[in-house]
Chain A
């Protein structure tokens, strides 16, 4: 059994007078791709914020065996890349190139390293020609790829996606699925798009009301009609079609 790259132990997080996470515990090994599903308000986005060292609750988070605390956050954040639900929030610099360079520059890389990382990230996302454009001029699909490029340039070990397919048309969504599948590393994809969860992840965590209610193989968790409807979700269309087509 390989050592856990990410370990969460009994994590609690409260907003004023409202508990959001109630004793979450799980582990992930290197290279694992995990879907995080659940109804609205289940605590998915808050869990991602805690995992990326942007919010601190009670309990423990270990990344590569090191505890994620306020003190260690700036060091361990180098390992984690968070892709926000709304790409507009992530693209805050005047040009795309400056946006993609923002992370590596803050990590203290040399100009040469930054330039190379920016070029590689833009090329991987097919955005080289838009490097000097303002993000406002990009389509929603391009903005999403640009947001991915801003994280890709930092070369994180763990990717955290918050609603990656929100506001995307089918073509952009399919491009995104292909990109997510091609990315190396460990990742957590928090999504309501259960087909995307099935297409990109081998394991699935179901969160409801701040509690982890299911953890298992993606096709099994997502295909459990009783479990899904019991928590305000549906079996993905892809699985239903597969079941129907079986003799």
Chain B
């Protein structure tokens, strides 16, 4: 399971792992927000954000193959954008199919490339936070940043019960497989809806039991944990680097405009 690998990575001891989760979260959010505001043709401005996250990842000693494989997951979405935008957006035609046919536009190409680069850099920042922060620290950081309780509890339970839901899904799949005759196995997909429905009902029943178990141990609506957070000098360093990159980029863009 990939999330178990993420769990192992997050328990590292590099200087990045030791940073306060709030610093990492706020830095990532600031960079992603800034990237979204940058002009589509200003590729040079994406460089600091990209270099900074790569430097942080090297410092965190994250395995490149894993980061790369996780980043590939967003590619289908980016490809979809890249495929349609150049045809649908812009005025300056670069290439057309026949006379008065569909055309690829310069502005659309630029926008697609810009979305792809911004998307990949943003995903790298999110991965940096997730791959270097244990789930409990991440939840404590989000809690201290006043993220709504229901979101935090959903994240916490998702992390805890993901394996269990996958296991239950596998059991249902095996049970279906065992009852199908060999020649009917290619039709197994037909009962997929039923499996999803049953998995949902089981999850619902489990949720009810967990709710009772929480109430039995005094839960009254607020998830309290042992985790306490504290800022360290290294946090100031990352915050300063991100702020400097953000300010420099903003100043350059301002001057160009």
Contact = CB atoms under 8 A, between A and B. Distances in A.
A173 to B, nearest CB: 22
Interface in A61-115: 74, 77-78, 80-82, 84, 86, 88-95, 97-98, 101-103, 105-107, 111, 114-115
Interface string B196-236: 00000000001001101111111110001111100000000
A135 B210 CA distance: 14
Contact of B219 (A80, A91, A106, A154): A106
A131 to B, nearest CB: 11
A92 B136 contact: no
Contact of B218 (A78, A86, A88, A114): A78
Interface string A122-161: 0000000000001110000000000000110010000000
A49 interface: yes
Given A102-B224, A106-B218, 13 more contacts: A74-B220, A84-B213, A91-B160, A92-B156, A92-B214, A101-B225, A102-B217, A103-B218, A105-B225, A106-B220, A134-B160, A135-B160, A150-B217
A62 B163 CA distance: 41
A183 interface: no
Interface string B138-179: 010000000000000000110111011000000000000000
A54 interface: yes
B206 A89 contact: yes
Given A78-B218, A98-B136, A150-B217, A105 B224 contact: yes
Interface in A12-58: 49, 52, 54
Nearest to A108: B218
A49 B214 contact: no
Interface residues of A, number: 37
Nearest to B225: A98
27 contacts: A54-B212, A54-B215, A77-B218, A78-B218, A80-B216, A82-B213, A84-B212, A84-B213, A89-B212, A90-B213, A92-B157, A92-B161, A94-B136, A94-B139, A94-B156, A98-B136, A98-B225, A98-B227, A101-B225, A102-B214, A102-B219, A105-B224, A105-B226, A107-B218, A114-B226, A118-B226, A136-B160
B7 interface: yes
A95 B209 contact: no
B226 A111 contact: yes
**A78, A136, A154: residue with the most chain B Cβ atoms closer than 10 Å:** A136
Interface of B: 7, 135-136, 139, 156-157, 159-161, 163-164, 206, 209-210, 212-220, 224-228
Interface of A: 49, 52, 54, 74, 77-78, 80-82, 84, 86, 88-95, 97-98, 101-103, 105-107, 111, 114-115, 118, 134-136, 150-151, 154
A27 B220 CA distance: 29
Nearest to A106: B218
Contact of A77 (B157, B213, B216): B216
Nearest to A48: B216
A93 B156 contact: yes
B82 to A, nearest CB: 37
A102 B219 CA distance: 8
Nearest to A82: B216
Contacts of B210: 89, 92
